[in-house]
């Protein structure tokens, strides 16, 4: 199994054009000819894996409160679209299963970011990977990542041979090489706004492909590409796709 490193990954679907982490956002990315999407998964109170970024409902739905305190029954009819634009009224928070169905149907690759609510780092990875193992076959086009080491370690325990990405935040870890080896990752996903050229070179020296989030400006994509960054998460993936040098 070898990961087909994507050049362009639609961030939360294609969240520059549709409400993030909805089926509509996934379809929008696919309609643009984007081949991979990134989605965030977390659990409801009753442990249903859903696609959602924030720990609370406030920003991206017509409700409020903590996701971890709501059952799926309570979430499934919420409007997760009109906060973004009236035309998306009625978009719902998808379950992981519903999202995967669309992704498989549209022939997309997936970076599933395990984004647990606090305290549910292990459980979220377990539930998400258990479900994925029943419906996903193409492991050259599936990448599991998380900011939470516990989640990544759980992914490693459950499915050692699936591809993992080391997701790095604003602080570049001093022990990067150790982390890469420990988690036995296939790529390193770095913050485009804080990564330096020296850090990119350090990762390249270790022999790891690099993906960078979140890049919406062509100039930034080209600069990072000139440093050796391989691929980009973007809210506007069509714009970045048109403006980088793609080697097929």
Question: Could you give the residue numbers annotated as active site?
Answer: 11, 53
- Which residues of this chain interact with ligand G3P, rule CB under 6 A? 11, 38, 40, 53, 113, 145, 167, 189, 213, 233
Q: Please say which residue, 45 or 53, places its beta carbon nearer to ligand G3P.
A: 53
Decide whether 10 or 81 has the Cβ nearer to Mg ion: 10
* Binding partner at 20 among ligand G3P, Mg ion, none, C-beta below 5 to 8 Å by kind: none
- Residues 141-200 close enough to bind Mg ion by CB under 5 A: none
Cα distance between residue 166 and residue 80, in whole Å: 29
Q: Which of residues 27-86 bind Mg ion (CB under 5 A)?
A: 40
Tokens of 99: 């999202």
Minimum gap (Å) between residue 247 Cβ and Mg ion: 26
Smallest separation, CB 111 to ligand G3P (Å): 6
Which of 188, 244, 189 has the alpha carbon at shortest distance from 216?
244
- If contact means CB under 5 to 8 A according to the sort of partner, which of ligand G3P, Mg ion, none does residue 233 touch? ligand G3P
**Please, what is the minimum distance in Å from the beta carbon of residue 22 to Mg ion?**
14
Query: What x-and-dash track marks residues 107-136 binding Mg ion by CB under 5 A?
Result: ------x-----------------------
Chain centre distance of CA 22: 13
Helix 176-183 × helix 149-158 angle, to 10°: 30
The minimum distance between CB 180 and Mg ion, in angstroms, equals 20
- Distance, in Å, from the CA atom of 235 to the CA atom of 175, rounded to the nearest integer, reads 30
84 contact, one of ligand G3P, Mg ion, none, CB 5-8 Å limit per kind: none
Q: What is the 3-state secondary structure (H, E, C) of 177-206?
A: HHHHHHHCCCEEEEECCCCCHHHHHHHHHH
DSSP tag of 84: T
Q: Are the CB atoms for 227 and 200 separated by under 8 Å?
A: yes
């Amino acid at each position: 199994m070898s990961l087909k490193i994507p050049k362009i990954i639609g961030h939360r679907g294609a969240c520059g054009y549709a409400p993030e982490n909805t089926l509509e956002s996934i379809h929008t990315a696919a309609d643009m000819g984007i081949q991979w999407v990134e989605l965030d998964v977390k659990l409801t109170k009753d442990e249903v894996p859903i696609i959602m970024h924030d720990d609370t409902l406030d920003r991206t739905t017509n409700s409020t409160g903590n996701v971890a305190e709501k059952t799926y029954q309570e979430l499934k009819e919420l409007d997760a679209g009109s906060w973004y634009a009236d035309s998306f009224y009625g978009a719902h928070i998808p379950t992981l299963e519903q999202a995967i169905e669309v992704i498989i149907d549209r022939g997309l690759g997936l970076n599933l970011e395990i984004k647990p609510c606090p305290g549910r780092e292990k459980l979220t990875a377990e539930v998400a990977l258990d479900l994925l193992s029943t419906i996903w076959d193409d492991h050259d086009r599936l990448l599991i990542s998380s900011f939470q080491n516990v989640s990544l370690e759980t992914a490693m325990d459950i499915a050692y041979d699936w591809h993992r990405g080391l997701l790095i935040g604003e602080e570049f870890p001093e022990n990067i090489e150790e982390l890469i080896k420990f988690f036995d990752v296939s790529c390193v996903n770095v913050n485009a706004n804080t990564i330096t050229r020296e850090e990119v070179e350090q990762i390249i020296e270790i022999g790891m492909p690099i993906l960078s989030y979140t890049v919406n400006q062509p100039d930034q994509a080209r600069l990072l590409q000139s440093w050796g960054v391989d691929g980009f998460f973007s809210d506007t993936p069509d714009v970045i796709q048109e403006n980088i040098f793609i080697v097929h």
